[in-house]
Structure 1
Amino acid sequence: MFRPVRTLVLMAVIFLVGLFYERHQHQERCAAAGGTVQDGLCRGETE
């Protein structure tokens, strides 16, 4: 019984780590383009 619960918890943790990693990458790409992230969108970037 513990093994399926452990697997689901592990999958949830990995999913959340992926979300935070992608957000961080998005912020870095936006900063490299000269913008800032507001409400999840890159604003003020220059291409």
Structure 2
Amino acid sequence: MFRLLRLIIFSLCAFVAGIFYERSHAGDRCTAGGGLWIDKICVGVDLSND
């Protein structure tokens, strides 16, 4: 039972860490593409999904 609980906790932690990692680099990608990062929204640039 503990192994299942540990698996769920580790999976949840990895998911949350991935979300924070992606959000932190979204602003960098926006400014590198020539846009402005305003209130967690990239303004003034059309980024591709490559």
Q: Which of the five TM-score ranges fits, normalised by the shorter chain?
A: 0.7 to 0.9
RMSD of the alignment, in Å? 1.6
Aligned pairs, number: 45
Aligned to 1:16: 16
Q: How does 1:1-47 map to 2 (within 5 A)?
A: 1-32=1-32, 33-38=34-39, 40-43=40-43, 45-46=44-45
CA distance in 2, matches of 1:24, 1:46: 18
Gaps of 5+ in 2: none
Give identity over the alignment, percent: 33
Moved over 3 A (4+): none
**Length-normalised TM-score, structure 2:** 0.72
Gaps of 5+ in 1: none
